Structure 1
Amino acid sequence: MNRLILVGALGLIVAVGAVILNWRTAPAPSADLSPYGAANAQEAAEIDTSSIVEMTLGNPDAKVTVMEYASFTCPHCARFHEGQFKQLKAEYIDTGLINFVYRDVYFDRFGLWASMVARCGGQERFFGIADMIYDQQRDWVGSGQDPAAIANNLRKIGKVAGLDEDQLEACLNDNDKAKTLVAWYQKNAEADGIRSTPTLLINGTSYSNMSYEELKGLIDEALAE
Structure 2
Amino acid sequence: MKLNRRAMIALAAAATAAMTPALAQEATTTEAAAPVVKDFSLGSPDAKVKLVEYASFTCPHCANFHATTFKDLKKDYIDTGKVHFTLREVYFDRYGLWAALIARCGGEMKYFGIHDMLFDQQQDWAASENPQEVVEKLKTIGRAAGLEDAAMDACLNDTANAEALIKQFQTNFEADGVEGTPTLFINGTKHGNMAYEDLKAIIEAELAKE
TM-score by length of 2: 0.90
Deviation at 1:2, TM superposition (A): 3.5
- Distance in 1 between the 2:173 and 2:34 partners? 14
Contact 2:11 2:92 in 1 (8 A): no
* Structure 1 residue ranges without an equivalent (≥5): 27-47
Change in Cα spacing, 1:93 to 1:104, as seen in structure 2 (3 Å) is same
Counterpart of 1:105 in structure 2: which amino acid? V
Change in Cα spacing, 1:87 to 1:6, as seen in structure 2 (3 Å) is farther
Change in Cα spacing, 1:207 to 1:168, as seen in structure 2 (3 Å) is same
- Show the 5 A alignment for 1:120-199: 120-143=105-128, 145-199=129-183
- Show the 5 A alignment for 1:1-20: 1-6=1-6, 9=9, 12-17=12-17, 19-20=18-19
Runs of 4+ in structure 1 over 6 Å off: none
Counterpart of 1:76 in structure 2: which amino acid? H
Deviation at 1:146, TM superposition (A): 1.4
The 3-state SS of whatever aligns with 1:6 is helix
Contact 2:15 2:97 in 1 (8 A): no
Q: Identity rate of aligned residues, in percent?
A: 47
1:105 alignment partner, one of 75, 85, 90? 90
- Distance in 1 between the 2:35 and 2:148 partners? 27
- Distance in 2 between the 1:8 and 1:81 partners? 22
What does residue 22 of structure 2 align with? 23
Contact 1:13 1:178 in 2 (8 A): no
Change in Cα spacing, 1:204 to 1:6, as seen in structure 2 (3 Å) is farther
- Distance in 1 between the 2:14 and 2:194 partners? 35
Q: What is the CA deviation profile of residues 107-135 of structure 1, one whole-angstrom value per residue up to 9, with x for unaligned ones?
A: 11110000000000001110000000000
Deviation at 1:217, TM superposition (A): 0.3
1:213 alignment partner, one of 190, 197, 201? 197
Change in Cα spacing, 1:8 to 1:50, as seen in structure 2 (3 Å) is farther
TM-score by length of 1: 0.84
- C-alpha root-mean-square deviation of aligned residues, in Å? 1.9
Contact 1:118 1:129 in 2 (8 A): yes
- Show the 5 A alignment for 1:67-86: 67-86=52-71
Deviation at 1:199, TM superposition (A): 0.4
Q: Confirm whether residue 60 of structure 1 aligns to residue 63 of structure 2.
A: no
- Show the 5 A alignment for 1:89-104: 89-104=74-89
* Structure 2 residue ranges without an equivalent (≥5): 26-32
2:99 alignment partner, one of 104, 110, 114? 114
- Distance in 1 between the 2:7 and 2:170 partners? 6
Deviation at 1:54, TM superposition (A): 1.5
Aligned residues: 202
Moved more, 48-57 or 68-77: 48-57
- Distance in 2 between the 1:15 and 1:2 partners? 18
